[in-house]
Amino acid sequence: MDVAREAGVSPSTVSRILNGTARVSDDKRQAVLAAIAEMNFAPNQMAQGLKKGRSMTIGIVVQDISSPFFDETLRGVDDGLKGTGYASVIVSGHWNAEEEADRIRLLLARKVDGIILLSGRMSDQTVLNFSTQRPIVSTGRALRTRSALGFKMDNEHGAYLAVHHLIELGHRRIAFISGPSNNIDAIERLAGYTRALAEAGIALDPQLIVEGNYHEASGMLAMNRLFDTHQQFTAVFAANDLSAYGARLALYRKGIRVPDDISLVGFDDLPGSSYTTPPLTTIRQPLYDIGRIATHSLLCIINGGETRGEVPPLELIVRETTRRVR
């Protein structure tokens, strides 16, 4: 490298100073440092990576780059990476197993040192297969091998908490706007809803369950569907906050007051849920913490350390969209 020439030393010496690999005499060090500053030189990370076999890059697979759900987790990842020298390349799988696998192959070709997979539709086995090439930490899966780790939230329990809260407030006709029926989290949340009802001796009415797709529009549609079929209910549990927002709008359009006429509970506790009108009662997912902990764990695996790290549990956040039934 030309810093070496500029400073009148060999490339190795420069390298040694840059990496602190060995002792170097003070005068040469000064000269090199000066040359570096003057040329504002920074080592070519691609060359470094090629040589050392580590790119100092980790890959993140999200499903939707502009969903507050993933973005809050990404914030945790970003903070977790701070000061580690690692950078991240973020790709999106768009909730498509095929695309996820593609993206992971892309990351692998780029020699990322590890991968964080946020949710997704890929089978656990596929994840395990990829994990032979690079360590993978994933959310929404219960994995635990030498090079693959999963963090799974107790969705069933979370949903139970939500519905139980409603029941305690005296509600007995509780509608449920579910997630996509092929989504594992959605299935588990439905199970929690069912259990809470059963436990309270409330018969499950299939008419009160409408399938959504986790987006606002589907929450709105689901709500309208409930009205169109003349269902009677005093509360609604939406499988995620986004669909709760949509349901809220449908209610507003009908002139139905929340929580006075109907109570509403969401799931996720997105940042925006503290500022809806009224603020949304919901089940809090520790999204930021998940991102941080996943990152930390991945770094541990990469550096051959132990993988500890527990994620905080789901938690009911009572705000202002629920009230005792009159």
Partner DNA sequence: CTGTTAGCGCCTTCAT
Partner DNA sequence: ATGAAGGCGCTAACAG
Name 315's bridge partners.
284
**Contacted entry of DNA, its own copies, none for residue 163, CB cut-off 5 to 8 Å set by kind:** none
Which residues 13-42 are close enough to bind its own copies by CB under 8 A? 42
* Residue 41 Cβ vs DNA, minimum distance, rounded to whole Å: 7
DSSP string covering 32-98 = HHHHHHHTT----HHHHHHHHS--SEEEEEES-TT-HHHHHHHHHHHHHHTTSS-EEEEEE-TT-HH
Tell me: does residue 321 bind its own copies (CB under 8 A): no
Nearer to its own copies, 76 or 179 (CB): 76
> How far from 128 is each of 33, 148, 219, 303, CA to CA, in Å?
45, 7, 35, 19
Nearer to DNA, 9 or 294 (CB): 9
Tell me: does residue 249 bind its own copies (CB under 8 A): yes
- Structure tokens belonging to residue 117: 């997979």
List the end-to-end C-alpha distance of the chain, in Å, as a whole number: 79
Tell me: does residue 66 bind its own copies (CB under 8 A): yes
Which residues 205-224 are close enough to bind its own copies by CB under 8 A? 216, 220
Tell me: does residue 105 bind its own copies (CB under 8 A): yes
* Residue 165 Cβ vs its own copies, minimum distance, rounded to whole Å: 22
Q: Which residues of the shown chain bind DNA in the complex (CB under 7 A)?
A: 1, 9-16, 18-19, 21-25, 27-28, 43-44, 47-48, 50-53
CA distance 325 to 161: 18
Tell me: does residue 109 bind its own copies (CB under 8 A): yes
Name the burial class of residue 194, with classes exposed (0-12), middle (13-18) and buried (19+) by CB atoms within 10 angstroms of its CB: middle
- The enclosing H or E element of 106 equals helix 97-109
CA distance 41 to 104: 32
**Contacted entry of DNA, its own copies, none for residue 108, CB cut-off 5 to 8 Å set by kind:** its own copies
Provide the b/e sequence for 219-228 (b: ≥16 CB within 10 Å): bbbbbbbbee
Nearer to its own copies, 164 or 263 (CB): 263
Which residues 163-202 are close enough to bind its own copies by CB under 8 A? none
**Contacted entry of DNA, its own copies, none for residue 16, CB cut-off 5 to 8 Å set by kind:** DNA
Integer Rg of the chain from CA: 25
Q: Which residues bind its own copies (CB under 8 A)?
A: 42-47, 49-50, 55, 57, 65-68, 71-72, 74-75, 78, 87-92, 105-106, 108-111, 216, 220, 245-246, 248-249, 252, 271-272, 274-279
